[in-house]
Amino acid sequence: MKSPIIKCHKLDYSYAGKVALSNISFEVTTAEPIGLVGPNGAGKSTLLSILCGFLQNASGIVTLYGHRPGAAALSGRVAALPQDAQLDPTFTIGEQLSFYARLQGLSAQQAQLEASRVLEAVALQDSLKEKPGALSHGMAKRAAIAQALIGKPELILLDEPTAGLDPANTRKIRSIIAELSPATTFIISSHDLTELGRLCQQILLLDKGMMNTMQLNASAADQPTRFLTLQMEPCPITEVLAKFKQISGIVGISNPQKNELIIKYNSAIEAKMDVKIISCINDNNWQYRQLSQGKTLEEKLFFDEA
């Protein structure tokens, strides 16, 4: 029988008596990108560090492809972007990436080609002969992502991959992840929920050391109660709410943020509620910025009461 990509069973971990992870159990079997979210101090980096084999003495069962974290059999199969890890300032980026590639079993010539390939993938091909000290924060982050791409690993664990990156490079990283999936499975820890919403089908939510799993693609087609998220341009919000409440089928409207509305409706009464909403906006000469099906990921994860 094929082993799951990741298996955690009753995982506990404490730092100097303080519980960081408590009774965490989950399995990753799909090759689609998986998001790992949670507030600061929830244990995301701890969990990724345990999966990488950086932290010892965790209790419970943790396996990656059937092997314990850090096992020699995982070398080249599992890669990671650890949080705040930096390359050695003594050597050039190219020398270090080639060395890592050689440790993964590539010949000297293949290793040099691989170093160039992964640097090109993160748009750092000109930095091959630069030392890490010469790179900006964003460039250093991309160089660290490049090391995770060496040898086309099967599983890549990314801890805050886009933190500190400009929008162009964030998009570049997103396209790399989309391009390599599902041949490579990505576990992405991030606070950028829009980013995760775009990339991931499954979200692991960690809070106070406890974990919940959420499928983002769970079909709502057979459920009568559905949601729309509407972002309006500046508008008379009281009037907008009053008008929308008159539309038949709308069960409730909330206004979680300025000019943002979450509309709860019954699809059995009005299946094309989005068309109705846009008609209402047009009839009243208001402007809207975005209308999307369902709730935002942030709303689903942290503020969902329905």
Task: Decide whether 71 or 214 has the Cβ nearer to another protein.
Answer: 71
What tokens appear for 82 in the block?
């650890």
Q: In angstroms, give the least distance from the CB of 84 to another protein.
A: 6
Residue 105 within binding range of another protein, rule CB under 8 A = yes
Residue 57 within binding range of another protein, rule CB under 8 A = yes
Stretch that binds another protein, among 90-98, 177-185, 203-211, 272-280 (CB under 8 A): 90-98
Q: In angstroms, give the least distance from the CB of 167 to another protein.
A: 26
Whether the Cβ atoms of residue 94 and residue 114 lie closer than 8 Å to each other:
no
Residue 70 within binding range of another protein, rule CB under 8 A = yes
β-pairing verdict for 210-215 and 225-232:
unpaired
Task: Decide whether 20 or 24 has the Cβ nearer to another protein.
Answer: 20
Residue 14 within binding range of another protein, rule CB under 8 A = no
Task: Decide whether 54 or 286 has the Cβ nearer to another protein.
Answer: 54
Query: Rounded to whole angstroms, how far apart are CA atoms 113 and 63?
Result: 32
What tokens appear for 77 in the block?
């199969």
Question: Residue 3 CB: number of other CB atoms within 10 A?
Answer: 13
Among 1, 72, 168, 218, binds another protein (CB under 8 A): 72
Q: Residue 238 contacts by C-beta under 8 Å, 6 or more apart in sequence?
A: none
Residue 80 within binding range of another protein, rule CB under 8 A = yes
Among 3, 90, 213, 279, binds another protein (CB under 8 A): 90
Among 65, 99, 288, 302, binds another protein (CB under 8 A): 99
What tokens appear for 143 in the block?
């160089």
β-pairing verdict for 260-266 and 225-232:
antiparallel
Residue 56 within binding range of another protein, rule CB under 8 A = yes
SS3 labels along 166-210: CHHHHHHHHHHHHHHCCCCEEEEECCCHHHHHHHCCEEEEEECCE
Between the CA atoms of 171, 177, 180 and 182, what dihedral angle is there, to the nearest 10 degrees? -130
Among 37, 42, 64, 87, binds another protein (CB under 8 A): 87
Residue 122 within binding range of another protein, rule CB under 8 A = no
**Sole residue written with tokens 């820890």:** 189
Write the DSSP symbol of residue 107: -
Report which residue type is found at 242.
A
Residue 85 within binding range of another protein, rule CB under 8 A = yes
Residue 82 within binding range of another protein, rule CB under 8 A = yes
Task: Decide whether 55 or 253 has the Cβ nearer to another protein.
Answer: 55
* Site residues, another protein (CB under 8 A): 49, 52-57, 70, 72-73, 75-76, 78-80, 82, 84-88, 90-91, 95-96, 99-100, 102-105, 144, 147
